[in-house]
Amino acid sequence: MKIEIEIEDFKMLWHTSCNISQMTAEDLSGFDFIKGDNLESFNFLEDHYMYWLGDSYISALSALQIVKQSGFDAGLLWDDRPINGEDLDAWGFCIITNKIN
């Protein structure tokens, strides 16, 4: 059985997103680049969004593929900054994209 995955499926992640149009590539230097379009390829004068995906690599790759195959710029990053100042947890994988939610 073939399962079609499309951008509508990615929209389920809207609650994890935030507009990062005020950030620059330098602001994002704390993120580790994993795969996809590198930060230098983004025009930060346009609206961009970051979607946090958790710590599952296969889920993150699937999300990246959905966005890229739909024609949007997207980069997969790792955000290891602590949540609420605690060193016990991290945000995990995230996608930067010009896809407007």
Sheet holding 32-36, edge to edge: 17-19, 49-54, 90-97, 74-82, 32-36
70 found inside a domain = yes
pTM as predicted:
0.81
Q: Which domain holds residue 25?
A: 7-97
- Strand ranges (E), 1-101: 17-19, 32-36, 49-54, 74-82, 90-97
> Does residue 59 sit within a domain?
yes
Name which of 31, 24, 26, 65 is nearest 48 in CA terms.
Answer: 24
Residue 2 lies in a domain: no
Please state, as a whole number, how many other Cβ atoms lie within 10 Å of the Cβ of residue 32. 11
Q: Is residue 1 part of a domain?
A: no
Residue 99 has pLDDT above 60, yes or no: yes
Specify the pLDDT at position 20: 82
Residue 73 lies in a domain: yes
Express each pLDDT in 12-39 by its tens digit.
888 888 888 777 767 777 788 999 988 7
- Structurally, the chain folds into a number of domains equal to 1
Summarize pLDDT for 44-76 with one digit per residue, the tens: 667 788 898 888 999 999 999 999 988 888 999
